[in-house]
Amino acid sequence: MPLTRLSPVTLSPPRGYARLLAGLLFACLLAGCAGREIATREALDELTIDRALILAEARSSLGTPYRYGGTTDRGLDCSGLVQRAYARAGIRVPRTSRAQYKALPQIDRARPGDLLFFATAGGRKASHVGIYAGDGEMIHAPGRGRRVTRTSLALDYWQERFLGAAAPAP
């Protein structure tokens, strides 16, 4: 069977492709500027006893139902989880995420056991807090109908709403 020569086919992008590509690039740039980078330091092998106790309490709370204002096994809210975990290490922290954010010493890079604050209710005020667990994850009480869980900080949701970190534990 003789071979037939095919003519080359040129593909051109659909009409408006350049405008769409420029729009997507612009949106990505805007999204990148929305929140501060969540900077972390992995130091699991250098945990103080306080940090180990905080993380142990946070891990033991996994699966606890969310309850607004909750501070017990029957239910926890985000700042209640923090208050309870830090109490295990003998460290007192304010009751609400906003008060914690205002009162606690801010840091540039979070270590396991440190607090991460987010503006989830719009604006720039702290309305959510989680405990950095290491490996790019935090333990937190996410909200009504959910349970205390471990979640990735790589999610855009958290990146865009990040306000800062605090280190009340030595």
Establish whether 144 is a catalytic residue.
no
CATH code of domain 38-166: 3.90.1720.10
Q: Is the pLDDT of residue 64 over 90?
A: yes
Supply the pLDDT for residue 128: 98
Options 130, 140, 141, 165, the catalytic residue = 140
The tokens for 110 are 């979070």
Rounded to an integer, the average pLDDT of 62-76 is 97
Catalytic residue of the set 128, 137, 162, 169: 128
In whole angstroms, give the CA distance from residue 44 to residue 51.
9
pLDDT in tens, 14-58: 454 444 334 433 333 334 434 567 877 665 567 999 999 999 999
Instruction: State the average pLDDT over residues 112-137.
Output: 96
Nearest-angstrom CA–CA distance, 165 and 154: 16
Is 128 among the catalytic positions?
yes
Tokens of 88: 């295990």
- Angle between the 78-88 and 49-60 helix axes, to the nearest 10 degrees? 140
Is 80 exceeded by the pLDDT of residue 81? Answer: yes
Residue 94's pLDDT is what?
Answer: 98
pTM attached to this predicted model: 0.76
CA distance 88 to 2: 83
Question: Of residues 38, 78, 116, 141, which has the active-site annotation?
Answer: 78
Give me the residues paired with residue 150 across strands. Answer: 139
97 vs 12 pLDDT, higher one = 97
Confidence of residue 142 (pLDDT cuts 50, 70, 90): very high
The predicted structure's pLDDT at residue 125? 95
Share of residues in the chain with pLDDT > 90 (%):
70
The question of whether 108 is a catalytic residue gets the answer no
Which tokens hold the place of 127?
Answer: 């309305």
